[in-house]
Amino acid sequence: MDQYQPLPKRPRRLRCGATLRDAVADVSIKHDDLILPLFVTDKEDPQPVESMPGVSQLPVKAAIKAIGKLTDVGLRQFILFGVTSPEKKDPTGSFALSADAPVNQTLAGVRNMGHDVTMIADLCFCEYTDHGHCGVLLPDDPRTVVDNDQTLDQLRSAATCLAQAGADVVAPSGMMDGQIQAIRGALDEASFTQVCILAYSIKYASSLYDPFRDAGQGGMQFSDRKGYQMDFRRSREWQTELQLDIEQGADMVMVKPAVTYLDIIHQVRQACHLPVVAYHVSGEYAMLHAAAQQGWLDLKYAALETTYAIKRAGADLIVTYFAKELSEWIP
């Protein structure tokens, strides 16, 4: 009799039935993993963003109300971006320092309502400058455009204003050299030692931000941001940016965009002990919606698969415009 030959292993056995698949799944998404971006405006009525289906610029009162309702579906983390009328913009983005700026008003309103949420405030000037760049401009140097050190002074002041308004976390996104150290110093000097810094440590100059610029009305009037955002052709530069932000006092670090940089998210997770945040950006969101509108894919399952991929790559937290829907879809 021929010697018995066992059948090869059959991994498909663990795929038989939804209950068993759920039991052996080793990647999960919790409600607290999700951060919803909100655009708050000084306009009186919500303004739908054409390139981002389901997303609107919200007046301050509407944003505060929406945050209260969203806690009912399990969302507890929000990141705010300001939308400013053209007449309130200037070369230095000074309106960001005003208590009347929509982000500052929203933070104060949420605190007055007593909602148990984490409020993150984006800290950049592109939505407040009349030229659309992320800081004060250099007068004579077209190579880098932004005056790094003068912008640091503005960031110190803006961070303090956000903390005074009620931000739990400030998130500097302008990619200025030394911004984490400058902001940490300003917050500590103003006795806001408990306010965290979410560093946009690894932010690439990406075409996938274009719908966001529609939503935030922060598009550039000239040139581009390649002088201060990272070049996607460089695969190792993130190590320097990450190391500097950690040394300067970052509490969390971000990789942006997410889906097209899963390799970077994975490497950062391996190299870093801090919480890693990934931003599923506006262009990635818009592409899924555009394909779904054509009937080319199922939006729900494409969004879920994409979000699990970001989590699987190593992200602890995910900034996503799908956060509300995901909070209803996940267990």
Q: How far apart are CA 189 and CA 110, in angstroms?
A: 25
Residue 56: in which H helix or E strand, if any? strand 56-59
Is the Cα dihedral 272, 79, 32, 322 positive or negative? negative
317 pairs with which residues across the strands? 277
Residues marked active site are found at: 203, 256
CB distance 159 to 186 below 8 Å = yes
Residue 187: name the closest of 209, 205, 162, 208 by CA: 162
- Between β-strands 118-123 and 77-83, what pairing exists: parallel, antiparallel or unpaired? parallel
The CA-CA-CA angle for residues 44, 46, 47, to 5°, reads 110
The CA-CA-CA angle for residues 55, 124, 152, to 5°, reads 175
- The owner of tokens 């991994």 is 11
Integer CA distances (angstroms), 157 to 52, 120, 137, 167, in order: 32, 17, 17, 14
